[in-house]
């Protein structure tokens, strides 16, 4: 398939060293850690399952719930299981969230599923010692989903971590990304964190990679400006020497 300049501008793999190798390495690290430290498997309805990794000892613990990327159409929760090892080392519980993918699932439904997933995680963790603060993270498309989970306020989020996010979906409408999504310009704008309500958000950390596509870097910068204009506590972290995929290795 021939890609247009707009396609290339929003194609993180075109700016990465070897995204397939990075994803494979991260997946293998997640599998290896799950073998050493078996997670609790959580049923989230509609055949969805995801993993909750709980530290040893007694709770409650801080909880990090993380939403994977994949442009709303690829990957699954196991893509971020490798992050659990470093969060558990910090004394935090970690959940790798699952949601349905396009074209079978709309972004609106993905948001609802992620809300349900956070709630289910807290319910299960309560049976193992509980949580005393909830951190929510998301990578790439997962950052957009994480924003909406926090913005709707159905589940109280204490801190938000948004990594190499998509905060304005409108440029994607005329790209290959939109083929399974089928978004109109109006839908894309309505689903864009950049145009959503920001003033009720918890403290945010926005992370971008040095070798993210320039479009992603610009979106991250603009979103931090918007957060600060809305009086939201926002920290911006520009990670050198990495790309859209291996930036997760530096969290």
Q: Max alpha carbon distance in the chain (Å)?
A: 55
- Asked if the model's pLDDT at residue 23 lies above 60, the reply is yes
Mean pLDDT across the stretch 2-28? 95
Looking at the chain, the whole-number percentage of residues with pLDDT higher than 70 is 99
Residue 36, pLDDT score:
97
In the chain, what are the domain boundaries? 5-250
Domain 5-250 - what CATH class? alpha beta
Q: Interior CA angle at 43 toward 137 and 132, to 5°?
A: 45
pLDDT mean over 45-70: 93
Q: Band of the pLDDT at 8, cuts 50, 70, 90?
A: very high
Cβ neighbours of residue 7 closer than 8 Å, sequence gap 6 or more: 175, 176
Is 60 exceeded by the pLDDT of residue 1? no
Position 46 confidence tier, pLDDT thresholds 50, 70, 90: confident
Q: Provide the CB-side half-sphere exposure for 90 (13 A, CA).
A: 11
Give the pTM: 0.97
């Amino acid at each position: 398939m021939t890609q247009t300049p707009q396609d290339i501008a929003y194609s993180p793999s075109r700016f990465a060293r070897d995204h397939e190798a990075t994803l494979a390495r991260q997946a293998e690290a997640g599998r290896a850690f799950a073998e050493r430290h078996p997670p609790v498997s959580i049923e989230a309805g509609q055949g969805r399952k995801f993993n909750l990794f709980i530290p040893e000892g007694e709770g409650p613990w801080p909880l990090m719930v993380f939403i994977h990327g994949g442009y709303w159409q690829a990957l699954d929760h196991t893509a971020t299981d490798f992050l659990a090892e470093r969060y558990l080392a910090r004394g935090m519980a970690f959940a790798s969230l699952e949601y349905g993918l396009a074209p079978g699932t709309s972004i609106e439904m993905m948001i609802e599923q992620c809300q349900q997933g956070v709630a289910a995680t807290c319910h299960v963790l309560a049976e193992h010692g509980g949580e005393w603060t909830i951190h929510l993270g998301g990578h790439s498309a997962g950052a957009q989903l994480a924003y909406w989970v926090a913005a709707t306020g159905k589940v109280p989020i204490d801190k938000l971590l948004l990594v190499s996010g998509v905060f304005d979906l409108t440029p994607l409408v005329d790209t290959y990304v939109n083929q399974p999504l089928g978004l109109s310009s109006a839908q894309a704008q309505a689903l864009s964190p950049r145009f959503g309500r920001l003033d009720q958000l918890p403290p945010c950390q926005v992370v971008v990679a040095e070798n993210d596509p320039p479009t992603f870097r610009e979106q991250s910068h603009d979103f931090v400006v918007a957060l600060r204009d809305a009086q939201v506590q926002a920290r911006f972290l520009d990670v050198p020497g990495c790309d859209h995929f291996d930036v997760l290795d530096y969290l």
